[in-house]
Amino acid sequence: MKILLSCLPRPWIVDEKKDDGYTALHLAALNNHVEVAELLVNQGHANLDIQNVNQQTALHLAVERQHTQIVRLMVRAGAKLDIPDKDGDTPLHEALRHHTLSQLRQLQDMQDVGKLLMGLGNQSGDKKSSASIACFLAANGADLNAKNKKGQSPMDLCPDPNLCRVLAKCHSDSNCQENTNLRIISCMEQEPLEECMVCSDMKRDTLFGPCGHIATCSLCSPRVKKCLICKEQVQSRTKIEECVVCSDKKASVLFQPCSHMCACDGCASLMKKCVQCRGQIDKMIPFIVCCGGKAPPVASNNSTAPTKPQKMNNANSELHKLEQQLQDIKEQTICPVCLDRIKNMIFLCGHGTCQLCGDRMSECPICRKSVEKRILLY
């Protein structure tokens, strides 16, 4: 599998569906092939949320079969936890539908719940427990109030009050942890990334070229020979001025490939070309990323339409996929002998050629069986 994925000429084949809508990841999750699933997710970059004809994702199947390692892999890889199937059931519905009383007793010990919050115990734990999977999903943010087509929420399928309390606790702890993490990240990362890495007194305001990093203030930048972030030789130093469009805010978006930073966040989102060099913008890099940080998460109320460069990249990838599919169709319909004309004659063995080549054939060029009859296609 590793060799196949490394040599795959068409990456999108990883997500190709069978007639029943199952992808390779569906089958790996269904049959508990953990190593195959890890390769498909990590190396093949398989789509985690593709649904089969029953609108089930791979996570639905892993939860239904109680394959805990697959569930842990899918959740930590970012699979959506609240996708409904054809009956409106989410993976959490499926988990609570398959628990047993013996599994419920295991959850009465709060120490076990703590292990669940760390991720379904350890790697070697292969004990099947739908109740444990349910707690793990709740701890990772699964919706406890999502209703299926019968109007049932996961809590309605939970027969034990103790388990209901454990699920609610796991869910509330996950929300508290998420809010705490956001506050910690905003406090720890924002200020240090704005300080000059040399003097720590002034704010960073100098863009290094050609790497595009911002590491120092304008006073310290002449002393820096190599970028303090990527260690690449500094060939140019450009002080970051105010936005050339609105003149109200400081420029904070780096345009690629021209490497100019001349607009603020609000103005840059409206641009298709750099206002400084009039070059086409292929990519926009936020100020925080240029300083060595991570891009801030996009709020849900702002995630409307993708930017123009994103649309161009999506269109190019779709066009490339269509071109490859068209080439595959041509290879299937072209004569395998002359590689020029379309197949319009088949033999009894099922293989075919064009009429001009087929009339001269005494053996099939594919399977080498004797040609007993020739059938023209119209």
Q: Which CATH architecture group holds 2-186?
A: Alpha Horseshoe (1.25)
49-67 mean pLDDT: 91
pLDDT, one tens digit per residue, over 178-204 is 555 545 444 444 545 778 888 878 888
pLDDT, one tens digit per residue, over 131-147 is 778 888 888 888 888 89
Instruction: Name the band, by pLDDT with cuts 50, 70 and 90, for residue 112.
Output: very low
Asked if residue 101 lies in contact with residue 158, where contact means CB atoms within 8 angstroms, the answer is no
Q: Which is it for the CA torsion 322, 323, 324, 325, positive or negative?
A: positive
In this predicted structure, the answer to whether residue 364 has a pLDDT above a threshold of 80 is yes
For residue 307, what pLDDT is reported? 57
Joined together, the tokens standing for residue 223 give 């002393």
Under CATH, domain 334-378 is a member of which superfamily? Zinc/RING finger domain, C3HC4 (zinc finger) (3.30.40.10)
Element (H, E) at 110: helix 110-119
pLDDT, one tens digit per residue, over 288-340 is 888 887 766 554 444 444 555 666 767 777 788 788 878 878 778 888 888 88
For residue 228, what pLDDT is reported? 86
What are the extents of the domains in the chain?
2-186, 334-378
Question: Among 56-60, 95-99, 132-136, whose mean pLDDT is lowest?
Answer: 95-99
Percent of the chain scoring above 90 in pLDDT: 16
Is the N-terminal amide bond of 257 cis, ω within 30° of 0? yes
Listed ranges 5-14, 85-94, 325-334; the one with the highest mean pLDDT: 85-94
For residue 265, what pLDDT is reported? 85
Asked if residue 157 lies in contact with residue 93, where contact means CB atoms within 8 angstroms, the answer is yes
Tell me the DSSP string of 135-172: HHHHHTT--TT---TTS--GGGG---HHHHHHHHHHHH
